[in-house]
Chain A
Amino acid sequence: MLELFVAMKHIRTRKRQTVLAVGAVGLAVAIIIVFRSLMNGSFETFFDIFFELAPHVLVLPKEGEEYIYLYKTLIEFIWAIPGVAAVSPALSTTATLSFEDNVENVDMTGVVPAELNKVTSIGDKYMIEGDLYAIQSGRRVALGDKMIEKLEVQMGEDVVASFPDANTMNLVVAGVFRTGVEEWDQAAFVSLETAQEFLGDGDVITYINIQIEDPYQADEVAAEISALGYDAESWRTMFPQFEESLAFETFSNNLILVLVLLIASFGIANVMNMLVLEKTREVGMLMAMGTNQSQIRRIFLIESGILGLAGGIFGTAFGYLVSAYFNSLQYTVNAPTAPQPIVIKFLVDPFDLIAFSLLALILSMIAGVYPAHKASKLDPVVALRG
């Protein structure tokens, strides 16, 4: 193909201009890829932090009912929904805990430790003493460190749990946790059976927390459960501000990144303009030999497209390597309230690599439109004179 032949020849022989154009676009694309990977990484960290203590879907009893009665059937039903990763039933109640002279009211929740851990990772990450799984065996309780302080109780000692209409019982402190969230650090966890025994209302629960592999499937999962008459809500309807702020963040970041690329494509426009000026005589000769206007236009459009695509490919490759390197550094930041330092992640979305290569190609071709048009409109007689 004539157009490609001529365009490639220009690109190969005008090395300095080629390096300049490809470099400008490549650098811009690389910056974009690194920034996007930082953005993806921080969004994932946001998600992780946010959903560490919050479920993707919360299922509450049917309207007008105090408990979820046939919860075992319901749990089976939920597990059958594709993509469900954890189903944590809970029976929440209020209990008065007393130890020696100290008396405190506490939110006491009966849970299945393994499932609670999958939803909140409280068993893996936040235990500072003992073991969350220990509550499974008999009358044991895991307490938040704030409650431990208030009751002035220690691991292995007995607290008394009581409440009007409830069955008073002794509980051994089997674990202490600290999440950094005030509300949680004043709470108590016991096994589901212990909580049911305490309340004496039979084999019932008050809610189910569900974790899903892809959090964005939450609405669909919630809808399936709601169809059974339960009050199921996804995080997206529970915390709409969360997604709103992410969307705003994404938009403003992308706007800046596209502007960066736009500036880089001016580099291509400049190189192409110079090329057309320099090649006036040759365009005239090509026309004399019978090249028509659309062919001339295509030569320069193809040329700027190739420069843009090369910049895009070079930029994505470079950006990918830089992101991977930054990610491997495991750079951390400290937040005053966070129990652990937060690792800054750089996650490259493969879609970005293709999308921004193509965007570089398209913007460069747009940048080439005017120079290409100018070249095609040259009068061969004037052009040949130089």
Chain B
Amino acid sequence: MSKIIEIKKLRKVYGDGVELVALDDVDLTIEEGEVLSIVGPSGSGKSTLLNMIGLLDTPSNGEIWLKGQNISKASSKERARLRNKELGFIFQYHHLLPEFSAVENVMMPLLIAGVEKKEARHRAITLLEEVGLGDQLNNKPNQLSGGQNQRVAVARALAGHPSIVIGDEPTGNLDSKSSDMIYELLRKLNREMNQTFILVTHDMDMAEKTDRILRLVDGKIVCEMLRDGDKFVTRDLCKLDK
């Protein structure tokens, strides 16, 4: 396995007067094909870390390397291009474009990449069939259930063949049955395409299904647990008192 993300001494500070340290010198390496979950209390910096990896936010200090390229200081245009090419996003709220049908929403990352409409449509239909929505192609988000919309969002996140899929509480708004369905879907895609998944979640049941769990408190990684068969083993940097 090769390193897909390498984070060195990453620091994010918000505010001008009263400073709020959201991330405090985080070091992290993520391997290609890994399914990683980040857990921790609200305000611990999970989402900030995810936004950094997702190139939506820029660090105050430190470096982020994506596939061997230092992207900490990339221009807004370059970051947009990389988001389109390398990343797929699934948020707690589906964030589908309300005017567009399911298939058009899934086509969107491809259209942004400049793929021809016909080809994009073909790919989108394949993906929607894969997530079990082959019969809902032309329905708009307000004609679909919460779980269905989230599956459309998953299909959209995968449309552009991203190397990393980022999920910020991807099942946070769903009942446990829909949650399981979404997770199984992600896992299946991971096995089939060796995509890297980084999930932020409150849901420990889901976290325990991933390969590695990071626990973030006050902007620091305080615990790292690795899957070993059916159990998790903790690494030495675990400070369980926190």
Contact indicator A290/B56 (Cβ below 8 Å): no
A288 touches B76 (CB 8 A): no
Q: Is the CB of B100 within 8 A of A288?
A: no
Q: Is the CB of B89 within 8 A of A282?
A: no
Residues of A within 8 A of B160 (CB): 290
Q: In the bound complex, do residue B112 and residue A291 qualify as a contact, i.e. CB atoms below 8 Å apart? A: yes
Q: CB within 8 Å of B: which of A278-297?
A: 281-282, 284-295
- With beta carbons under 8 angstroms apart, the residue of A2, A12, A286, A384 that contacts B91 is A384
Interface size grouping (class) on chain A: 20 to 34
A380 in complex: contacting residue of B56, B81, B104, CB < 8 Å? B56
Residues of B near A6 (CB, < 8 A) are: 97
Size band of the B side of the interface? 20 to 34
A288-B112 contact, Cβ under 8 Å, with A281-B95, A282-B97: no
Q: How far is the CB of A323 from chain B (nearest CB, A)?
A: 37
Q: Which residues of A contact B98 (CB under 8 A)?
A: 282
Given A288-B54, A288-B56, A381-B56, A2-B112 contact (CB < 8 Å): yes
Return chain B residues, CB-CB under 8 Å to A248. none
**A2-B111, A290-B83, A380-B56 in contact; A285/B97 too (CB < 8 A)?**
yes
Distance A285 CA – B82 CA, assembled complex (angstroms): 15
| CB within 8 Å for A288 and B81 given contacts A9-B99, A9-B100, A381-B51 | no
A283–B61 CA distance with the chains assembled, in angstroms: 27
Q: A295 to B113, alpha carbons, bound, how many Å?
A: 12
Residues of A within 8 A of B83 (CB): 287-290
| Bound-complex Cα distance A293 to B97 (A) | 18
Judge if A241 is at the interface, Cβ distance under 8 Å.
no
Encode contact with A along B87-119: 1 for CB under 8 Å, 0 otherwise: 101010001111110001000110111100100
Asked whether A10 is an interface residue with its Cβ less than 8 Å from the other chain, the reply is yes
B84 interfacial by beta-carbon distance below 8 Å: yes
B238 CB within 8 Å of chain A: no
B80 at the interface (CB under 8 A from A): yes
A293 touches B95 (CB 8 A): no
CB distance from A297 to the nearest CB of B (A): 12
Instruction: Please report which residues of chain A, range 284-340, place their CB below 8 angstroms from some CB of chain B when the two chains form the complex.
Output: 284-295
Q: Distance (Å) between the CB of A165 and the closest chain B CB?
A: 94
Given contacts A381-B51, A381-B56, A381-B57, contact A290 B112 (CB under 8 A): yes
Q: Could you tell me the distance in whole angstroms from the C-beta of A129 to the nearest C-beta in chain B?
A: 76
A351 in the interface (beta carbon within 8 A): no
Interface centre among A10, A13, A380, A381, by most B CB within 10 Å? Answer: A380
Given A10-B99, A281-B95, A282-B97, verify A290-B109 contact (CB < 8 Å): yes
Interface residues of A in 1-50 (CB under 8 A from B): 2, 5-6, 9-10, 12-14
Q: How far is the CB of B106 from chain A (nearest CB, A)?
A: 11
Q: Kindly identify which residue among A290, A293, A294, A380 contacts B84, using a CB–CB cutoff of 8 Å.
A: A290
Query: Does B77 make an interface contact (CB < 8 A)?
Result: yes
Besides the known contacts A9-B97, A9-B104, A293-B77, 6 further A-B residue pairs in the complex with CB atoms under 8 A apart: A2-B114, A9-B100, A13-B99, A282-B95, A289-B112, A294-B77
Interface residues of chain B, those whose CB is within 8 Å of chain A, are 51, 54, 56-57, 76-77, 80-85, 87, 89, 91, 95-100, 104, 108-109, 111-114, 117, 156, 160
8 A-B pairs closest in CB distance: A290-B84, A292-B80, A13-B99, A285-B95, A290-B83, A289-B109, A2-B111, A9-B99
